[in-house]
Copies of this chain bind each other. A is one copy, B any other.
Amino acid sequence: MTAKPTRRGLIAATAAAGGLSGGASAAPASATAPLTIAAQGSYAAGGAVYDAPGTFDPHAFFSNTGGRNHGDHAYVRFQRPVKPRRLPLVLWHGGGQFMKTWESTPDGREGYDTLLLRRDWEVHLVDQPRRGGAGHANSTGAIETLRPIDKSLWHVFRLGVYPDFFPGGQFPQTPEAIDQYWRQRADDTGPEDQEVVVAGVSAVFDRIGRGVLITHSNSGKWGFVTAARNTHVRAVVSYEPGTIVVPEGYEPAPIDSADPMIQRITTPVVIPDAQFANLAKIPIQIVFGDNIPAAASPYAGLDFWRHVRARAYEFCALIRARGGDATVLELPKAGISGNTHFPFSDLNNVAVADELSAYLQSRKLDRYFEP
């Protein structure tokens, strides 16, 4: 059965899109100096091979037996500036998202992919296995069907209380930008499995060597798992990680919420103590935007963040107790206000990127190759 969508008029869609890219005849929305790129491309990383039982029939158009499938890899696009800094940046999207997260903002400005390239970083954008360009799975069975949750995500992504925006918010409040924003999402083509997605992103680091991992939301916890396992990950900057990782045996602080989704999403991921210890060997920064409620909120999608932020501080205390370097940056405390759950694509994303640059510099992660 197919749902009956309301198809938008093409004329309206065209008008809505006009400000973003007008083709060769229109100037780009954010006119800046040309980019100079030494190399760019894409690749698959990791993955598995599935061999079906039986004997392959080469004569059939599609053999019903003995076939093979290459799936469960990560898909990566990269760009390398002419004089790159030593450590590449690997950017991993959040739940229901793909690498579009880091590309053009909903209102067509430059995203982190291009902003960071301009700052001499080699950038690798990841689609996790079974999502987006990595949407070729080795799994069978039902996947998520149509889930109309855009209005609910309005709260979870902290635009405001639907359909209103928070006063002073940094989300571009035009119908066109809102439309583009909701179209950043991509459905899974198989179950979202920790071991599959961590293996895929870990394979990226095995390929490129040492680098800095930047995560967002749902990839936060898995980025920590990846860094705990793969020593090529030399630092983690995590934008609003949905939850944290803890060592075996640790009893996390109780969450004072009866909401089952909040309970579920904020449940920490448990990893072996020896792996957790690796997280104390690298710099870790966790970044939060604005409008996180200070006290209980009647909106579960907003109240969620109060608990997430508490978890983040709990995580940093655990790391620091092991002599590590884990800190929380609350952007409002740095004088940067109004940010949503996507600070890197908000209207002030250049200021947010400045905080990233400052952090990487403070940890001496931004060095160039020796001349």
A184 closest partner in B (C-beta)? B44
Are A147 and B69 in contact, CB atoms less than 8 angstroms apart? Answer: yes
Are B71 and A5 in contact, CB atoms less than 8 angstroms apart? Answer: yes
Interface pick from A49-57, A248-256, A347-355, A358-366: A49-57
A43 closest partner in B (C-beta)? B20
The 0/1 profile, CB within 8 Å of B marked 1, for residues 223-264 of chain A is: 000000000000000000000000000000000000101100
Are A61 and B304 in contact, CB atoms less than 8 angstroms apart? Answer: yes
Q: How large is the interface on A (under 10, 10 to 19, 20 to 34, 35 or more residues)?
A: 35 or more
Q: How far is the CA of A44 from the CA of B100 in the complex (A)?
A: 10
* Most B-side CB within 10 Å, residue of A18, A87, A185, A189: A189
A45-B17, A98-B133, A140-B145 known; A61+B300 contact, CB < 8 A: yes
A2 closest partner in B (C-beta)? B139
| 16 A–B contacts from the bound complex (CB under 8 Å) | A3-B50, A10-B202, A11-B206, A13-B47, A13-B207, A14-B207, A23-B209, A24-B85, A30-B39, A36-B37, A37-B37, A50-B146, A58-B152, A73-B183, A98-B135, A189-B189
Which A positions have Cβ atoms within 8 angstroms of B?
1-8, 10-11, 13-14, 17-18, 20-25, 28, 30-31, 34-52, 56, 58-63, 66-73, 75, 77-78, 80, 82, 84-88, 98-100, 103-104, 108, 110-111, 114, 122, 127, 131-143, 145-152, 155-156, 161-162, 179-180, 182-189, 191, 199, 202-203, 206-211, 259, 261-262, 298-301, 304, 369
